[in-house]
């Protein structure tokens, strides 16, 4: 498995990954994926996402993708502004794995990759948060050394959710 940023050469793999995630979103309440209108713009936005723009209210971030044999297995997103209010509430790290590649250790490997990126930046701890009913994701956070901080009521995209937050010491 290779973990790296997306490039224009990955268009076919990305389209297959996106189709799988959009199908899964119809039946899986934990999938957060929206159709990409323009792949080239998506890559350009990904390339510039680490730079804060004037008027930007969200944290800078980096998207990483896990590749194997021409397929995208999953995606990891690392938010870099540790004290940003959204990161404090929603976590600093998020991940998803395509349905065909779940239960194969991909999510844990992605999380480990992300934790190493935070260590490289000298960050001492991060939060990983998820819906309290997302048992699979909770197990990944715990396996990564996450310490449960509690359950919190949050407003996420206009919905009231119960979220659990873990702290991972780096």
CA distance 150 to 152: 6
The answer to whether the CB of 68 falls within 8 A of the CB of 106 is no
Instruction: Look at the chain and report how many structural domains it folds into.
Output: 1
What's the chain's Rg over C-alpha atoms? Answer: 15
Q: Is 152 contained in some domain?
A: no
Q: Is 57 contained in some domain?
A: yes
CATH of the domain at 92: 3.40.630.30
Number of H helices, E strands in the chain: 5, 7
Q: Which two tokens stand for residue 107?
A: 């999510």
pLDDT tens digits, one per residue of 1-45: 999 999 999 999 999 999 999 999 999 989 989 999 999 999 999
Q: Is 140 contained in some domain?
A: no
Q: Can you name the residues that pair with 3 across neighbouring β-strands?
A: 66
Q: Is 141 contained in some domain?
A: no
With 80 as the cut, is the pLDDT of residue 59 above it?
yes
Out of 85-89, 90-94, 100-104, least confident range: 85-89
**Residues making up the chain, counted from first to last:** 170
List Cα–Cα distances, 97 to 39, 82, 103, 124, 158, in angstroms: 19, 24, 9, 26, 24
Q: Is 132 contained in some domain?
A: no
pLDDT tens digits, one per residue of 109-127: 999 999 999 999 999 999 9
- The domain in which residue 38 lies consists of 2-123
Q: Is 166 contained in some domain?
A: no
pLDDT given at position 158: 79
Q: Is 95 contained in some domain?
A: yes
CA distance 118 to 124: 8
pLDDT confidence tier of residue 155, bands split at 50, 70 and 90: confident
Q: Which two tokens stand for residue 140?
A: 């990944």
Q: Is 14 contained in some domain?
A: yes
The answer to whether the CB of 129 falls within 8 A of the CB of 162 is no
pLDDT confidence tier of residue 51, bands split at 50, 70 and 90: very high
Predicted structure pTM score: 0.94
């Amino acid at each position: 498995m290779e973990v790296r940023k997306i490039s224009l050469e990955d268009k076919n793999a990305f389209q297959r990954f996106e189709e799988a995630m959009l199908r899964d979103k119809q039946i899986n309440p934990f999938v957060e994926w929206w159709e990409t209108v323009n792949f080239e713009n998506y890559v350009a936005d990904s390339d510039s996402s680490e730079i804060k723009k004037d008027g930007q209210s969200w944290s800078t971030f980096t998207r990483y993708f896990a590749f194997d044999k021409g397929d995208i297995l999953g995606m990891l997103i690392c938010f870099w502004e540790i004290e940003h209010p959204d990161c404090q509430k929603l976590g600093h790290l998020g991940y998803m794995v395509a349905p065909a590649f779940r239960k194969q250790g991909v999510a844990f490997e992605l999380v480990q990759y992300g934790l190493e990126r935070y260590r490289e930046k000298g960050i001492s701890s991060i939060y990983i948060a998820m819906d309290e009913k997302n048992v699979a994701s909770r197990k990944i956070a715990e396996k990564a050394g996450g310490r449960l901080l509690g359950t919190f009521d949050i407003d996420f995209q206009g919905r009231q959710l119960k979220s659990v937050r873990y702290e991972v010491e780096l």
